[in-house]
Amino acid sequence: MIKYEVGQIIPNFVGHTEGVQFDVADDGATMLVFFRNPTSSEIRQFESKNRFEIRFVELSDIIMLTIKIGNLNWMDTPYSVHLSKNLTKLQDIKENEGIGLTLILIDAATGEIKHLRLLGLSTNFTKALFKAIKEQKNKEFNEELYTKKLNLIYRKYSTKEIVRVSKNYCKIDN
């Protein structure tokens, strides 16, 4: 397990492209948000006092997640269980439980972690996400076909359209 801290520079993240990466592991979920030279205003949006919303929909066998952090624009990221690095099993979710999500803001230019936030996602959202992941896990996977499908999704849908068609969501207002 890797330990992350605010101010830490991750060499693999130096010069990273802007965007969002999501992964699920046995110990929870992680969402990496890469901004090139984030402003202090952008960094403040990640604070726990600000709203967080996550949604997902399955399009062409790809789970598409969207997030809204504070007053920032909606962002999206694809997820495939077949590309997960540390997921061996999905735990059963009991009532009043949900998966923990570690939200990490990273300066894509320097690789520096600018903010960390731990969120608890709702029971209903977690159950729906795990159900979609289990179904996806049982389907055959071809990375070349995955890339083609993903490119088609991005040609067909804007981020706002992905948000609009997503029925599964979790809102956290602090």
106-142 per-residue burial string, b: 16 or more CB within 10 A, e: under 16: bbbbbbbbbbebebebbbebbbbbbebbeebeeeeee
pLDDT digits (tens, 9 = 90+) for 119-157: 999 999 999 999 999 999 999 999 999 999 999 999 999
pTM for this one? 0.93
Model pLDDT, residue 90: 76
pLDDT at 1 over 60: no
**Cα separation of 154 and 35, whole Å?**
20
Model pLDDT, residue 39: 97
In a domain, 1, yes or no: no
In the block, tokens 């399009």 appear at: 59
pLDDT at 30 over 90: yes
Name the residue among 23, 42, 24 with its Cα closest to residue 108: 42
In a domain, 4, yes or no: no
Q: In what order do the strands lie in the sheet with 100-107?
A: 19-25, 28-35, 100-107, 113-120
In a domain, 6, yes or no: no
**Cα separation of 142 and 146, whole Å?**
6
pLDDT at 68 over 70: yes
If one counts the domains in the chain, the total is: 1
Task: Spell out the SS3 assignment of 13-76.
Answer: HCCCCCEEEEEEECCEEEEEEEECCCCHHHHHCCCCCCCEEEEEEEECCEEEEEEEECCCCCEE
In a domain, 3, yes or no: no
Q: Which domain holds residue 112?
A: 11-172
Backbone dihedral region of 49: left (phi > 0), alpha (psi from -120 to 50 degrees) or beta?
alpha
In a domain, 2, yes or no: no
The set of residues, in sequence order, having a beta carbon less than 8 Å from that of 134 and lying 6+ positions away, is 90
Contact indicator for 169, 55 with CB cutoff of 8 Å? yes
